[in-house]
Structure formats: C-alpha cells, structure tokens
Amino acid sequence: MIRRFFVPATFVSSFFFERRGATRSNLDFFGSRRSLGTRNMEHKVPCLCFSSPRVGLTGNLVRKCYRTAVMAVTVVIGAQWGDEGKGKIVDLLAPHFTWIARYQGGANAGHTIVFEGKKFVFHLVPSGILYPDKKCVLGNGMVIDPVQLRKEMDGLAEGGIDFEGRLLISERAHLLLPTHQMLDRAREEDRLVKKIGTTLRGIGPAYSDKFKRCGVPFGEFLDREECVDELLRNHLSQLGISPSPELKEKMDFWKEAARSLAGFVTDTGFPLRRAIERGETILAEGAQGTMLDIDHGTYPYVTSSTTCAFGATAGLGIPARAVTRVIGIFKAYSTRVGEGPFPTELFGEEAQRLREAGGEYGATTGRPRRVGWLDAVALKYAADINGCDGLILTKADVLNNTLFEKTKIGVAYEGLSRLPRKFPPKITVTYRDFPTWPTLRGLEIPPELDSYLAAIEEYSGAPVIALSTGPDRNEIIWRKPFLD
Ligand code: IMP
C-alpha cells in the first residue's frame, strides 16, 4: 500500500510550490486530491507520507542512498511532561507509515483508543496495531511486563484484531518482574530518599537492573529461564523478604505469560534496518515527554529512559542518520504528574476548572494531574533539544473562552536565560496574556487562537503544523504543510 505514496522526481518542487501556496485547512501534500488509499481517508496529512524512491537498490548504492534518505524515520515525542496526546497523533499518522515502533519506557505510558465502537487501552503495544497492514515493534529500549503485554494482546484478539506476524518484540528489551514494582513502591515509601511520584509500574528498578547489567533481556529469559530466578533472589534480598506462596504464584503466572510471547520475540533492529534500506517508513513513538528525560529532564524528577527523539535510534537499533523528521506534541496548557518543578503551575479554583475541562487525570494511575499555563521556556527547550521540525498542539478545544477569558504563556524565568539544570525552589515567571478563543467549529482557526499559535512559534522557534481539536481522529486542523 505504501507504494501508492511514491512521489515522482518532481516532488521536491511540488513541496516547494505547496509550501508557498499553502494556507490553513486540511492541505493535501500532493497538491492533487489523490486518495491516500487508507481507511483513514479523511486525514490527508500534508507533506508527510510516501516512501523514498530507493526501493530495489542494492549494495553500495543502497548505502549511499541511505545517507541521503529523506523519509525514513519520523519520531513523535512529547514536548512537555508527558500526556500531551501523542497516542492520538500516532494513531492519526500511522496510516502513512509501514512500521510503528515504540523505543522506550514501559507500562508507565497509557492511552485509550476507541475503534469501531470498541475501546482499546494501550500501555505497551503501539497504537498502529489497529491498522491491519502495519507492522508494530516493541523496541529494545523498552522495559516489558509480560503480564501486561499478554493482557493487551488478549484484548486485541478479543476485539478481532489479528496481530500474528506483524507484532514484533525485541529480544533485547528488558523484562519487568513483579518485584521491580515492589522495589519501586519501597523506594517511593522510603523517607530517606526523594519521592519522585512514580507510576509504581517498576520502571526505575527495571532500568536500574539493565544498567547494572543484572537485568533480563527477553531473549535471555527464553534461552535460560533460571536467569529470572537469580534476579528474583537479588530483589528479595534488597527488599529484605523471603519468597511467599503468593509471590511464587505470581511468578509462575508471570513466567507463563512471558513464555506465551516467545513467538513474537525476535531481533527487531535487523528488520527495521532492512526496512529503511528498502525505503519503507517508520514512525517511532515516544512515551512520556522531554522534561521527563533521564538526561535532559528535570532530574531527579524524571522517568528512567531517554524520552527525547535521539532515544529512538538507540531504542530501536537503527542508525542515527535514519531519523529524518521529529514532531513534538504539546498541549495548549501544561500538565505534570508526580513531583518536581513546574514553574507555570496553577492552584485552587482555576486549576480545578482546567483539570476538569481537560479531563486531566492519569491514564495509567488515575491520579489528578497538576495543571498550569503553557510554558514557552520548556517548549523552546524541547523544540531545541529534539530538533523539532514541527509541533502539533493538542487540546486546543479545551482552552476556549467559556473556560477562561484570558490565557497566559510563561515566556521567561526571571533571572535565568534558559531552562536550568536545577530549578531554584522559587521561580518567578514572566507571562504574556492572550484572549482565549470561541468554541472551535470545523477547520476555521479563530484569530485569537491564530495569535496564540504565532506567539508559540515565535517563542519556541518551531512551526505549529497542526492542531488537534478533540479526541476523535477527525478533529484535526492542518495548519502548515510539513516539509523536509
Ligand atoms: P516512572 O516512569 O513510573 O518511574 O515515573 C517517573 C516520573 O515520570 C513520575 O513523575 C511519573 O508521574 C512520570 N511519568 C511516567 N510516565 C508518565 C506518563 O506517561 N505521563 C506523564 N508522566 C509520566
């Protein structure tokens, strides 16, 4: 199907032409109104979808072309503290890619997709799985709880989704044991260490074991099951407990779930690299957000993986040069779950109003999210560090003039020229006020929202290419063509 997207040699000039002539509204990349050939026809994504014209080349020529590949890998990242609505955007873009691949994190992420009247909740499986022709990968950079994954796969099977042969799990992804969750909880309850406010899904301990080189890659478990018992003994000694019948029962269930996934476990990096050579396209799906990145986020109040776009190459086993496009997703306002700095945070009645209007409760834990105004300092940092080619705004519908008369953008932190490594306990934010916009209807962008978007572009340095105006796939306005 992807071959329908082949673009003739003149495509570069048509890009250019399209860019010049483009105005807001649902632009068609090709200029012509040709069908994209997917069941998601109403979502013609401008300047986005096609394979490179290198199919069929071999040897040195492939390698040469590989270097100049224009369309290989697009990475979708969260440009705030997670929960930006990446799931919907990935679901929307998926038809235009051959592969959808998660590269980091685990069941700490979560989103719900309603498809043909059935509700699917994903924590681990990429949402592209709902498209019958897409190949989905759980990359080596992930930490996988096999019980959770089995549950999601069973849910898919019950919903009539056939994933045989097109769901691949990396043999290098690390397994997450029930005791990782116990260790996570024990750490959060330990008064001697800083509470992070984790999702309690065992993510930090699982990545700790990976980096301590005592973790269990999925392939290793399938080769030699005893390695799990060795790790389990290590965990029990850290927890200071002896094995209970309940834990044994839990572990038996866990092992059964892990064994049942054996047929899906493989070297996922190899087929992804070959796919890039063939000119197939990959959508790399990030979880959490830039400000939660282990290296570049608000450490220590972060998750334990590389959430930034560059995590995609390590987390999928593909060359860095294969990444050709990065899309940052951000909400019209900010939210954060768990502890840590949040300079534009709102409190009291205003916060509660925004939380309710946006349904800001954790998809994984149900916790009420902290809410605040849009933080352009953080957004600029995210656009900069990820090298965002474009930004997509979500929840544009929430912040309308029935909720607040005015909205604010935090444009600077007083006394700081940029986002600091460590936030001072009290930070004074300089704000700019903007009028909110009327309830959104159709594809029109009200002038108030347009000025808000223009200011965001000015502060972040990246174009806002689209805005999501509701949870449904149809609720999207393409504002600018998306160019290479
Ligand atoms: P962990 O990833 O469970 O270790 O949690 C570390 C921090 O990241 C905590 O503040 C969590 O609330 C936050 N976090 C983890 N996953 C998500 C997510 O998907 N959305 C928003 N915050 C998250």
Choice among 43, 83, 91, 296 that is catalytic: 83
SS3 call for 303: coil
d(CA 207, CA 214): 10
What average pLDDT does the segment 309-313 reach?
98
pLDDT-based confidence at 482, cuts 50/70/90?
low
- Tell me the whole-structure pTM to 2 decimals: 0.87
Q: Which residues line ligand 1 (CB under 6 A)?
A: 82-83, 108-109, 196-199, 201, 203-204, 287-288, 292, 301, 303-304, 337-338
Tally of CB atoms within 10 A around 172:
20
d(CA 72, CA 49): 10
Following DSSP, what letter does each residue of 163-226 receive, concatenated?
Answer: -TTTEEEETTSEE--HHHHHHHHHHHH-TTS------SSSHHHHHHHHHHT---BHHHHHH-TH
- Token pair belonging to 96: 């235009």
Distances (CA, A) of 127 to 144, 218, 278, 309, 478: 16, 22, 24, 18, 21
SS3 call for 291: helix
Query: What are the residues whose beta carbons fall under 8 Å from the beta carbon of 444, sequence distance 6 or more?
Result: none
Percent helix, percent strand, percent coil in the chain, to nearest 5 = 35, 20, 45
The whole-chain average pLDDT of the chain stands at 87
Cβ–Cβ < 8 Å for 80, 382: yes
- For the stretch 408-452, pLDDT in tens is 999 999 999 999 999 998 999 999 999 999 999 889 999 999 999
Choice among 111, 123, 180, 235 that is catalytic: 111
Cβ–Cβ < 8 Å for 421, 386: no
d(CA 339, CA 370): 9
What average pLDDT does the segment 39-63 reach?
40
- Highest mean pLDDT: which range of 119-123, 256-260, 441-445: 256-260
Residue 296 annotated among the catalytic residues of the structure: no
Q: What is the pLDDT of residue 363?
A: 79
pLDDT-based confidence at 82, cuts 50/70/90?
very high
Percent of the chain beyond pLDDT 90?
78
SS3 call for 304: coil
Ligand 1 atom nearest the C-alpha of 365 is: 12
